[in-house]
Amino acid sequence: MRLDELEALYRSRFDTFARVAASVTGDSERARDAVQEAFATAVRKRRSFQGSGPLEAWVWRIVLNAARSDVRRNAAQVAYDAPTASNGHPETDAELRAVLARLPERQRTAVFLRYYADLDYASIGEALGIRTGTVAATLNAAHAALRTQLEEART
């Protein structure tokens, strides 16, 4: 893999990486730092990329690991910072943000990778280190939990 491929991915998808990382860290500034740290790691370890999956999925795994490391380092959790929607505008539905924040981390991350990063199931699986069928089951469970919680909130 060439450095220019990583640079192009960084430039074109930084905001998306940061929005998803914010769903893990709970803070947009810490998320941006985690993404930068992840790309520095990707540059250092680029020779270990074997090309068995998409480059972007490999980088997603590094970004998620960097965000999780940040959470472990900063044990005092801050309030959940919902990402902006894929159109670049902040999500306005506070109820939805709250429900998303209550999802287990893997479900929440899968939802953000699917709907904010627009990754396919195979790339999500690669990024999370799980099989494609597990991605489908994880998203199904997340959809069911979101549906139930939103219905309960509206009654």
**Domain ranges across the chain:** 3-154
pLDDT in tens, the chain (155 residues): 689 999 999 999 999 999 999 988 889 999 999 999 999 999 999 999 988 889 999 999 999 999 999 988 886 444 444 455 555 555 556 777 788 888 998 999 999 999 988 999 999 999 999 999 999 999 999 999 999 988 887 77
CB proximity list for 129: less than 8 A, separation 6 or greater:
61
CB proximity list for 144: less than 8 A, separation 6 or greater:
none
Give the Cα separation of 8 and 103 in Å (integer). 32
CATH topology of domain 3-154: Butyryl-CoA Dehydrogenase, subunit A; domain 3 (1.20.140)
Could you tell me the CA-to-CA distances from 51 to 21, 27, 55, 147, 154 in Å, in that order? 23, 32, 7, 37, 47
Q: Decide: pTM greater than 0.95.
A: no
